[in-house]
Structure 1
Amino acid sequence: MSDLAAWDRLVDLLTDDPRVAPEVRLALTDADAYLERHAEQLADRGIDEAGDVEAVLALVDALAAVGDLARVDWKEPSE
C-alpha cells in the first residue's frame, strides 16, 4: 500500500466529509501549494516552509474545519 493510499484509508475511517481527503492529498503531493493555500493559518503556528508541512497537520486542520474533530481531555468527566 502506498503512503497516499494509506492516508486515504485513514481519512475514510475518520470522516465521510469529502472536503478532508483533498487537503491531506495536497499536503502529501504538493506541500508548496498547501502552504500557499493555508499560509496565514500556518504562519500563526510558525510554519513558513513547505518542508514543515506534514500530512497529519493537514488531516487535523481539515477535520477541525469540517467539524469532525473532537478533543478529549482525560482529566474531564466523560459525560
Structure 2
Amino acid sequence: MNPRVLHGSEKIGEGQLLGPEDIMYDPKLGVIYTSCGDGWIKRVTVNESAVEDWVNTGGRPLGLALGYSGEVYVADAFKEVV
C-alpha cells in the first residue's frame, strides 16, 4: 500500500458516525450520504464538512444508491420489502 495515498485528505465526521457502512455521493447537491449502525443515514455537506442527521430507518441501513431523479435507495438489513 502506498503510505501517501491519504496525504492531504481530510477526516470528516470523526466521532459523529457510529459504524458507517456505505457512502454515496450526490453531485447535484454536493453531499455525501453514509449509512450508520445506529439506523441513521447521515448527510455530509462536502464544502462545509457539516454532518447532519438526515433519516433514521429504525433498522440497520447497509447499502445506499442514488436514483436517476435524485432519490436515495436504502438496503436495510432489518426491514422487509412490502
Q: Same fold (TM over 0.5)?
A: no
Q: TM-score per shorter chain, which class?
A: under 0.3
The structure carrying a bigger helix percent of its residues is 1
- What TM-score, normalized to structure 1? 0.26
- What TM-score, normalized to structure 2? 0.25
The structure carrying a bigger strand percent of its residues is 2
Greater relative contact order, per chain length (Cα 8 Å cut-off, separation 6+): 1
